[in-house]
Structure 1
Amino acid sequence: MTMPQLRSLLPAILFTIAYAAVSLSVTNSYYQLVLTLVPVWAVFGLSWNLLSGYTGLISFGHAAFFGIGAYTTALGQIYFDLSPWLLIPIAAMLGGIAGLLIGFPTFRLQGHYFALAMLAYPLAILYVFEWLGFQEVTLPMKRDAPIAYMQFGDPRLYTLLALAIMLATIVLTRIIEQSRFGMALLAIKQNEAAAEAAGINTLAWKLRAITLSGAIAAAIGAFYAQVLLVVTPQSVFGMLVSAQALTVAMFGGVGTVWGPVIGSVILIPLAEILHAEAGDRFPGIQGVIFGFAIICVILVAPEGLFWKLRDLLRKRFPRKANAAPDASQPATATVTPLHTEPRKRAAGSEVVLEVRNLSRSFGGLKAVQNVSFKLHKNEILGIIGPNGAGKTTLFNLLNGFLRPDEGEVLIDGRNMSGERPHTICEAGIGRTFQVMRPFLRMSILDNVVVGAYVRAKTEDEARKLAADAVARVGLSDVADRVAGELSTKELRLMELARALAGQPRILLLDETLAGLGHGEADEVVAVIRQLARDGITIAIIEHTMQAMVRLVDSFVVLDHGAVITEGEPEVVTRDNRVIEAYLGKKWVAHAPH
């Protein structure tokens, strides 16, 4: 672990020490139990956060893993006389396996469908355990070897052990946050399509996340059973259990280690004390507390208290910007204007991408109809056509977001049609999007690092590739700025850099000039021309014809999903079919001669 990583853990270590000191001073057994439950639910919240907080896929079913861990401890002691010191790691292993088995089919779903599907798992397991006759399982007392069976006479030891588990989970989460694992999860959360296009195998990373999340949830569930010494299906598989994991994380802040800790420190003592004091008069008051907490978060701090406070502090105490040559001017991207002399590919150059009879329909709509063309090495190919002609659908077929009904996409002679986007990215095709897909809470450099992972074997190599890509598009001076604060031009260039970081041989650029002013468009065109000089083959969709005729070597023109003509710009722009379908009769008067 590096020194910056160790320094980032210092607040967690100090908090754990302070909490331990407070717990050692408490003698009341009930308050001591509450002090133990706070880190227990913090760990459970951290496990939920590892999946839902970092990927954005909301789980209503984490009680499934928690309950598996609790019953592993209980039944393992009753039927096999095993020590919980052994059973807790076994529970973690079983929880991880359950996560993998649950995740593989469930990740096919998105949004609320995923959340509802996850809710079904703990409810189903709850009924199974009730049917098996495990309505209430009491752990056996082991007075001869209490330490071996984690049955401490001093309840403060449970609190210290829970704190140790919490600190270990925080350390693990921080390591993940600062690794390729965490960057991949955050990219998936902020824009899964962009992550997949950048070469991230989103299914594989989500499966890793739910496996680890399930293992942590099961381990803390096993410890929870040991603290209470009694397990019922409702207490470990019930809806309120999953709700507590979700609530403490969302209340404190998702996507950060401090969120579940903050949520647990505030909500668990409040809920437990109110339940003890008023539970007989107001049954279910714990659920009321958690429901009220969620409502407050939605209204006041949708991302949780941590992010709300952090944003307020940043507004109050803004960070000083890096020194620039002219401090009075805002930091912006700088792109050196490049020469725009004509650039012709050699006749008969190598074909790197060939499309053969590609077709895709949506119901009765034929979005792409028998499209065929060849893309030669070092060529800039423009794909044009009126709105609805099928241009973006064609790109989605080329890089795997859609499967073709018919036809082939040959990359270096290999048929890649129907492959997943990350596989096509690995084969050497980079992609930008018509509607920009930045990872808004990441810096420019971190956005581009995600794109570098498809080629880089180490974090240092990924950062080097990313820095090179950022420099190629002229964003080095603003590389530390958060993507959510960028102008349209900077976002367009950042997406281009993210695609470049994977060292593609072919770039698919979908309306890269959209939303740019005339001068900004010229700067981006200069970058694209330089990339072609550097040996990158480019296919570009664009509506700005004045820029396109200066930029591309040849055109493919689509109308109603079919190719109506292709050829060099000076020929295509005078084709009557193109003028009628796309350019309009006014183009003839302004066409270059």
Structure 2
Amino acid sequence: MNAVRSLGPLALFALAYAAVAMVITNSYYQLMLTLVLVWAVFGLSWNVLSGYTGLISFGHAAFFGIGAYTTVLGQVYFNLSPWITIPIAVALGALAGLIVGFPTFRLRGHYFALAMLAYPLALLYVFEWLGYQELTLPMRRDAPFTYMQFEDPRINTLIALVMLVATVIATRFIERSRFGMALLAIKQNEAAAEAAGIDTLRWKLRAITVSAAIAAMAGGFYTVVLLVVTPPSVFGMLVSAQALTVAMFGGVGTVWGPVLGSVILIPISEILHAELGARIPGIQGVVFGLAIIAVILLAPEGIYWRVRDLLRKRSLAKSGAGMPSPLRGGPSLSEAEIRGGDGASGTAGVPSGPTPSPSPQGGGELRRGDDVILSVQGVSKSFGGLKAVQNVSFDVLRGEILGIIGPNGAGKTTLFNLLNGFLRPDAGRVLLDGTEMVGRKPHELCRAGVGRTFQVMRPFLRMSVADNVVVGAYVHAETDEEARRRADEAIATVGLTDVADRLGGELTTKQLRLMELARALAGRPRLLLLDETLAGLGHSEVGDVLAVIRKLARSGITIVIIEHTMGAMVQLVDRFVVLDHGMVLVEGVPKTVTKDRRVIEAYLGKKWSAHVDA
């Protein structure tokens, strides 16, 4: 029912557009109406890749041009109907997208954008070298339907409208499916998506394949409408710029953004080109350039998101919910407090008074007889001359909470990245239940049962709490319904049910920390790696998060946690591994470790150690 209801605006738009098309008889304006739809389809194709993954493509003209030349060459040399050549163009465009994606997705940021730019430029010169500087479709008025050469241009507009409706429905399906959720997660934080079990390369390849297929369809029909094709008109810089601009202007990562951008910008650019093109060559490029500048200054994510955010703020203001910044989640702590100490204990947080009681998980004794779930054996990692991790070895016992502590720069987060697959060790082994994990990617480790949170929080800010956690549930869920159910359970476990519909960008720091826990928990991990989960929390909030962690431990999940708040850690963990300068300094139960002279020196220095001895 919701899916049908969501198509209501599309149906109204299509009916209104068709009515306008039927009324207008001027051939120039009729052509403009058709081109608006063609560029909207092309913008949607760009949006499937760049809008949903965040990888900016300057090279979509390559797929558009492949579609255009497939259509014209098929008719010129083989007398094939566009009804045949356009589907062939779609297939060739999809294949081209797959071929382009494999090498290009190795790049990031502006390197990816520049690499994509090379493909249409190369094809432009190739087709000019082949002698296809200008090709015209043969006139076949004897079979207008077969060759799409209708006397009434309104038929072309209706065909383009059908193409747009089909593309919007397909895009909406992608957006609301596992496919779209994976792409949005990749866009908002690729590392978090990988850690949540998403095979980012596979989903990006799917995205570029679908995107290229739609672009090729638009290019094929564009040739049928104009009856002529030249390399600059389909492979040129302006072609890729138009796809990018209509999507960015209207709103990236949403179905209606490219449509809105095309409806506004294409008529303006076409009219100015017709009126001023002879006196101001390149006026269309000026229009698109000004549109991008306006968007950057006034609505960086496009008109759609600007309006949506304003409406949401008003709605929240009326309801009294407010929109707290994720960076202002609670009272800030002093440096000493964040590290767990008081004013007398310096910055380390090593207790200077009586040692707190052992962990409620049974931390007084080291349970050597228990099964080992994770075995780290001689792991090392260097960055140039810096030895970040040096020959680190320890075992994690099934069902325990292991704390990894050490001063800043000790190599704790680097070690987590080695255990989680974000880095590959230079030497050593990492065994999960006896199986070698070195060389496996984060999403593979997640599937094997390793969950992860991050020191710097990595929420998907444009997604609701529920959707954030659903992304983590997909790794082991066979259906969307199962993923939703697991996500609801995880959200309830951490106590965020009341804010499940709030966007990630509207949460407090405590809620973001709990949401990351829920996202990791939804993947049903056997081993949970928590990287400074208490950072940035107030005193009361620390207690709330610790209660959740203890609940997870009681449920049977093994936990390895990095944390600077020593007072909290002593009450939480069964055992400590202390790192210093990338090496294991001490390993043992809290009562022993917190009194160890080497640990005190590593945290506070030799002068403080002498003071403690005195």
Instruction: Note closer, same or farther for the CA distance 1:353–1:182 as it changes in structure 2 (3 Å cut).
Output: same
Superposition deviation, residue 322 in structure 1:
11
Shift in alpha-carbon separation, 1:239–1:203, aligned structure 2, 3 A: same
User: Cα distance, 1:317 vs. partner?
Assistant: 3.9
- Residue by residue over 1:473-518, the C-alpha shift from the partner in whole angstroms, topping out at 9 and shown as x without a partner, is 1111111111111111111000000000000000000000000111
Cα deviation for residue 523 of structure 1 reads: 1.1
- The aligned residue for residue 85 of structure 1 is 83
Task: Look up the match of 1:379.
Answer: 400
d(CA) in 2 for partners of 1:284, 1:320: 47
Q: Tell me the equivalent position of 2:133.
A: 135
- The one-letter code of the counterpart of 2:29 is Y
Q: Are residues 206 and 151 of structure 1, via their aligned partners in 2, closer, same or farther at CA, if it must alter by over 3 Å?
A: same
Which shifted more, 473-482 or 122-131?
473-482
The residue identity in structure 2 corresponding to 1:471 is A
Correspondence 1:493-572 to 2 at 5 A: 493-572=514-593
2:111 pairs with one of 110, 113, 119:
113
The offset of 1:255, in angstroms, is: 0.6
CA distance in 1, matches of 2:426, 2:535: 30
Match of 1:427, as an amino acid? Answer: A
- Do the aligned residues in 2 keep the contact of 1:247 with 1:263 (CA within 8 Å)? yes
SS at match of 1:503: coil
> Is 1:447 aligned to residue 468 of structure 2?
yes
Residue identity opposite 1:268 in structure 2: I
Distance 1:6 1:320, change over 3 A: farther
How many residues matched?
576
Cα distance, 1:272 vs. partner? 0.5
Cα pair distance change 1:321/1:430, threshold 3 Å: farther
Partner of 1:504, secondary structure, is coil
Secondary structure, counterpart of 1:283 in structure 2: coil
Whole-angstrom CA distance in 1 between matches of 2:420 and 2:289: 43
1: distance between equivalents of 2:229 and 2:450? 53
Cα distance change of structure 1 residues 390 and 168 upon mapping to structure 2, 3 Å threshold: same
Cα 1:317/1:349, change in 2 over 3 Å: closer
Pair 1:368 & 2:366 matched? no
Distance 1:319 1:457 in 2: 39
Matched, 1:341 2:360: yes
- Secondary structure of the residue aligned to 1:51 is helix
Paired with 2:598 and 2:384, the residues of 1 have a C-alpha distance of 27
1:217 pairs with 215, 218, 243, which one? Answer: 215
CA distance in 2, matches of 1:321, 1:197: 35
In structure 2, the residue corresponding to 1:357 is in which secondary structure?
strand
Matched, 1:401 2:422: yes
Matched with 2:352 is none
Looking at structure 1, the residues matched to 443 and 499 of structure 2 have their Cα atoms a distance apart, in angstroms, of 28
Deviation of 1:346 after TM superposition, in Å, equals 4.8
Alignment identity in percent?
Answer: 73
Secondary structure, in 3 states, of the residue corresponding to 2:65?
A: helix
Residue aligning to 2:21: 23
Aligned equivalent of 1:418, options 439, 442, 445:
439
Q: Output the CA distance in 1 between the equivalents of 2:608 and 2:546.
A: 24
Matched residue SS, 1:374:
strand
- Whole-angstrom CA distance in 1 between matches of 2:432 and 2:32: 61
For 1:317 and 1:518, the matched residues in 2 are separated by 32
What SS class does the counterpart of residue 7 from structure 2 fall into? helix
Q: Distance in 2 between matches of 1:315 and 1:396?
A: 38
Q: CA deviation at 1:320?
A: 6.7
Aligned twin of 1:326: none
Secondary structure of the corresponding residue to residue 212 of structure 2: helix
For the 8 Å contact 1:122–1:237, the answer to whether it is kept is: yes
Say if 1:133 and 1:352 are closer, same or farther in 2 by CA, change over 3 A.
same
SS in 2 for 1:49: helix
Are the counterparts in 2 of residues 198 and 422 from structure 1 also a CA contact under 8 Å? yes
Alignment pair present for 1:204 and 2:202: yes
CA separation of 1:457/1:322 partners in 2, compared to 1, >3 Å: closer, same or farther? farther
**CA–CA separation in structure 1 for the residues paired with 2:604 and 2:582:** 17
The residue aligned with 2:232 is: 234
Give the distance between the partners of 1:586 and 1:237, measured in 2 at CA: 69
Q: Structure 1 residues 582, 481: CA separation in 2 closer, same or farther (over 3 Å shift)?
A: same
- The letter for the 2-side match of 1:8 is S
1:70 and 1:302 mapped to 2: Cα distance?
Answer: 32
Moved more, 128-137 or 526-535: 526-535
Unaligned 5+ segments in structure 1 are 324-330, 333-338
**Contact residue 340 and residue 526 of structure 1 kept, 8 A:** no
Amino acid in the other structure paired with 1:481 = R
8 Å CA contact 2:128–2:231 kept in 1: the answer is yes
Aligned partner of residue 555 in structure 1, secondary structure: strand
Q: Is the 8 A contact 2:359 2:570 kept in 1?
A: no
Relative to 1, partners in 2 of residues 1:139 and 1:554: Cα closer, same or farther, differing over 3 Å? same
Q: Which residue of 413, 421, 431 maps to 2:452?
A: 431
8 A contact 2:601–2:609 mirrored in 1: no
For structure 2, the residue ranges without an aligned partner over 5 or more in a row are 322-328, 331-357
Match of 1:171 in 2: 169
Does the aligned pair in 2 maintain the 1:55–1:186 contact within 8 Å?
A: yes
In structure 2, give the amino acid aligned to 1:220. A
Q: Is the Cα contact below 8 Å between 2:359 and 2:574 reproduced in 1?
A: no
Structure 1 SS opposite 2:374: strand
> Against the structure 1 CA distance between its residues 586 and 322, is the aligned structure 2 distance closer, same or farther, given a 3 Å change threshold?
same
> Would the alpha carbon gap of residues 362 and 25 (structure 1) be closer, same or farther in structure 2, given more than 3 Å must change?
same
Q: 1:587 to 1:431 in 2, by over 3 A?
A: farther
Shift of 1:586: 5.9
Q: Using a 3 Å threshold, how does the CA distance of structure 1 residues 449 and 320 change in structure 2: closer, same or farther?
A: farther
**Residues 526 and 588 of structure 1, relative CA distance in 2, 3 Å threshold:** farther
Q: Of residues 272, 279, 282 in structure 1, which corresponds to 2:277?
A: 279
Preserved CA contact (<8 Å) 1:383 1:541: yes
Q: Is the 8 A contact 1:340 1:529 kept in 2?
A: no
Question: What CA distance in whole angstroms lies between the structure 1 residues aligned with 2:236 and 2:275?
Answer: 22
How far off is 1:347 after superposition?
A: 4.2
1:336 corresponds to = none
Using the TM superposition, give the Cα deviation of residue 304 of structure 1 relative to its aligned residue in structure 2, in angstroms: 0.6
1:31-53 superposed Cα distances (whole Å, 9 cap, x missing partner): 10001000100000000001000
Q: Given residue 514 of structure 1, which amino acid in structure 2 is its aligned partner?
A: A
| Correspondence for 1:182 | 180
Amino acid at match of 1:239: M
Distance 1:458 1:588 in 2: 61
Write the mapping of 1:344-359 to structure 2, written as runs, cut at 5 A: 344=363, 346-359=367-380
Say if 2:361 and 2:573, in contact at 8 Å, map to a contact too. no
Q: 1:167 to 1:80 in 2, by over 3 A?
A: same
CA distance, structure 2, for counterparts of residue 275 and residue 559 of structure 1: 67
Per-residue deviation, residues 72-97 of structure 1 (Å, max 9, x unmatched): 00001111111110111110110001
> Counterpart of 1:453 in structure 2: which amino acid?
Y
Structure 1 position 565, deviation (Å):
1.3
Q: Which residue in the other structure is 1:156 paired with?
A: 154
**Distance in 1 (alpha carbons) for counterparts of 2:610 and 2:361:** 22
Aligned-partner Cα distance in 2 for 1:557–1:73 = 66
How far apart are the structure 2 equivalents of 1:457 and 1:588? Answer: 59
Contact 2:597 2:609 in 1 (8 A): no
Name the SS for the 2:140 alignment partner: coil
Q: Give the C-alpha shift of residue 144 in structure 1.
A: 2.2
What's the CA shift for 1:251? 0.5
Q: Quote the Cα distance in structure 2 between the aligned partners of 1:215 and 1:590.
A: 70
Q: Whole-Å Cα distance in 1 between the matches of residues 582 and 515 of structure 2?
A: 30
Residue 288 of structure 1, CA deviation? 0.5
By how many angstroms is 1:312 displaced? 1.9
Matches of 1:419 and 1:340, distance apart in 2: 33
Q: Does 1:574 align with 2:574?
A: no
Instruction: Work out whether 1:68 is the aligned partner of 2:87.
Output: no
Q: Report the AA paired with residue 30 of structure 1.
A: Y
Paired with 1:384 and 1:225, the residues of 2 have a C-alpha distance of 64
Distance 1:15 1:312, change over 3 A: same
**Matching residue of 1:42:** 40
Query: Is the alpha carbon distance of 1:293 and 1:322 closer, same or farther for their aligned partners in structure 2, counting shifts above 3 Å?
Result: closer
Query: Given the superposition, is the C-alpha separation of residues 321 and 536 from structure 1 closer, same or farther in structure 2, using an over 3 Å criterion?
Result: farther
